[in-house]
Amino acid sequence: MVCPTNLIGAIDVFQVDHHGTDPSSNPEFVRALKPRVAIVDSGPRKGNDARPFATLKSVAEIEAIYQLHRNVRTSEKENAPPDFVANDEEACKGEFIKLAVNPDGKSYMVSIPAKNISRSYRVR
């Protein structure tokens, strides 16, 4: 889909595949997509592994990486900043990340309602 010609093009939001486990997120594929925002649907002990997270961090176009759960098996530098993680503790309430596209289609918002945090992004 991206080699030898990128048929997809640059994207705004990348929902990281396979919870961000090691077999997911081929670096060449992710870099070709040039996502602006990445969302990792991970658990506290499943997903957002170090290698896929490093891949996301290596993409210059990514403005933010959101995680459903902080990975308790890795270090803080291998997790998104706390404001971008819906669930900080392993024993959590199961908070969520919300993505909403504005009706005009020119921007979208990613929010973590439990933390009262929202950030807007312009569509390319």
Which parts of the chain have pLDDT scores under 50? none
Amino acid (one-letter) located at 19? H
In this predicted model, what pLDDT tens digit does every residue of 10-26 receive, in sequence order? 999 999 998 888 888 89
> Would you state the pLDDT for residue 3?
85
> Would you state the pLDDT for residue 14?
96
> Would you state the pLDDT for residue 100?
98
> Would you state the pLDDT for residue 53?
95
Q: Where are the domains of the chain?
A: 13-90
> Would you state the pLDDT for residue 1?
87
> Would you state the pLDDT for residue 24?
83
